[in-house]
Every structure is written in structure tokens, then in C-alpha cells.
Amino acid sequence: MAQLLQHLINGLAAGTIYALVALGYTMVYGVLKLINFAHGDVMMVGVYMGYATAFALGRDMRSSLLGVAVVFAVAMLGCALLGFLIERFAYRPLREKPRLTALITAIGISFALSYGFQLDLGFLPGAAPRAFPEVIEPVEWLVIGDRDVVVWNWQVISFGIAVALMVGLQYLVFRTRFGRAMRAVSWDHRVAALMGIPTDRVIALTFMLSSALAAGAGLLYAIKDTSVSPLMGLYVGLKAFVAAVIGGIGHVPGAVVGGLVLGLVEEFVVGYAASTWRDAVAFGFLILVLLVKPGGLFGRVAAEKV
């Protein structure tokens, strides 16, 4: 029983990170019907921004509450700017083009970021994995029995951030003027523009918000696993995309539920089967969900005229 509870806690902790990244996929898809495959690599850029900021602050400063806030703020603001630039110069010129064109562009941006960051030019990190500095000191918040079950502080923080962001995004989408504009643009951006909604501004802000979320999720991932590399975004981003599809792409609570479910599935596979099966079972679970519910757990399949 203790082992089951520990796997449950570990799975929820891993799933919250997938959920945060999946929220970014969901937001962009909900507005533009675009799968932004560069989203995971934006997360990676945020991790390296946090890495550089943490070392610039020094050992004592970066572990303080102010230091942690500065690390997260720099990474999230930097990625928000990166998301704005990607949308403005890569996606906006292709908005009226076939969706396949934008999809190929997204894949190109993904490879440009992930492999570009492997260059060792002094201001770029190079290909070698690096140890992320200790920003949040690991603390055992709860110990049950003779260390049969251990809950760490970063696990509680990750879960709390995921829930807070889900609630915040739900409020933003359904209770604010900007949220109404987002829903109008997601329905039809041409009609929304005719009704006076600044579609370019709404789409740009959506990209900035999703990129900031990716940076925050990336820092939580780096704090958990400590080792960071330029290719980390490809792996985490792909898993988060799977989580978004499982939950129902375009559905905010679905992205969170999909991330938690995927994290639990992976943890139970590692704990009770073999770690080498983790990816195969995760993608097999995706196929199973889509066979039963093609729109995902919370999504809907809508008929389209062709």
C-alpha cells in the first residue's frame, strides 16, 4: 500500500509538469487550430534563461524567496518575448496559408531552437548536459512510516501551481473581456476582426501567455530532474502534446487531466513493469483513448464540411 501511494504521489508530480506544458499547446490550438511543435523548445529556452539567471544571482541569493521569484520572472518574461517573436515573424505571415505550411514551419522552428542551442559560441550553452543550480532546496514535507512514503516540497509546489494556473486560465477564458475575445477568435478570426476584435493582438498575447507557462513548467522540470540539455524540449514537449490530445486538445481542464493521467501511467509502468516500457505504454495509452474517444477525454468530435 505504501509503495502504491508513493507511486501515486510521484506520478501526480510528473503529471503536473506535463499538464503545464500541455496548457500551452491547448491555448494556441484553441485560438489558431495550430499545433505549435516549437512549444517544448520554448520551454527549453526558458530553462536556460533560468539557468543563467540563477548563476548570475549567486548561491545564496538564488535560494531565497526573492531569488526564486527573479529566476521564474526572467525566464517567463523572456519566453513570453520569444513567443511573441515566433508568432509575429513565423506564424502570422502564414495565417491565411494552408495549415500544413504552418505545421511544417513549427517543426522547423523546433529543430532550429533545439539544435541551435547546441552550438558552443560562448553565449549559447553547447550540447553537453548541465546540472541545474539548486534554486528550491529539496525538503521532505511529509514522511509516512519508516520513509515508506515521502512527499517533497517541489512536488507540492508543482501540483499547487498547476491547479492555480488551471483555475486562472478558466477564469481568464470565461470571465474576462480578453477571454471573450479569445473565444471569438477561436471560432472564426476573420469574423472576429470584422466585429472590431484586434485579432493580431489577441493571438500574440495568447502565444506570449502559453510561452510563459512553458518556461514555468520547464523550471519545475529542471528543479526535479536537475539535468538540462538542448534536446530536453523535444522529449517533454512531445509528452505534453500527448497529454493535451488525451485530455482533448483545446480544452483547458482536459489538458491538466491528460497530463496527470499520463504522469500516473508512466509512473505505474516504471514501478510495476519496466522503465524501458514507459514511452511505449504512454503512446499505446494515447492510441487506446483515441480509439474509444477520438476527441480525447473531454473533447468533442465536430463534423466539418469538405
The secondary structure of residue 148, as a DSSP letter, is T
Residues 6+ apart with CB under 8 A from 83: 42, 207, 208, 210, 211, 212
The pTM of the full predicted model, rounded to 2 decimals, is 0.90
Q: Are 186 and 174 in contact (CB under 8 A)?
A: no
End-to-end, the C-alpha distance of the chain in Å comes to: 53
Dist. CA 161–CA 156, nearest whole Å: 9
User: pLDDT tens-digit profile of 243-299?
Assistant: 999 998 888 888 888 998 999 998 888 888 877 888 888 888 888 888 888 888 887
Residues 6+ apart with CB under 8 A from 275: 269
Instruction: Write out the chain's pLDDT in tens, 306 residues.
Output: 778 888 888 888 888 889 889 988 988 988 888 889 999 999 999 999 999 999 889 888 888 888 888 999 999 999 999 999 999 999 999 988 888 899 999 999 999 999 998 887 776 778 888 888 888 877 888 887 777 788 888 788 877 877 787 788 788 888 899 889 988 988 888 888 888 899 999 999 999 999 999 998 899 888 877 788 999 998 889 899 999 999 988 888 888 889 989 999 988 888 888 778 888 888 888 888 888 888 888 876 655 544
Q: How many CB atoms lie within 10 A of CB 287?
A: 9
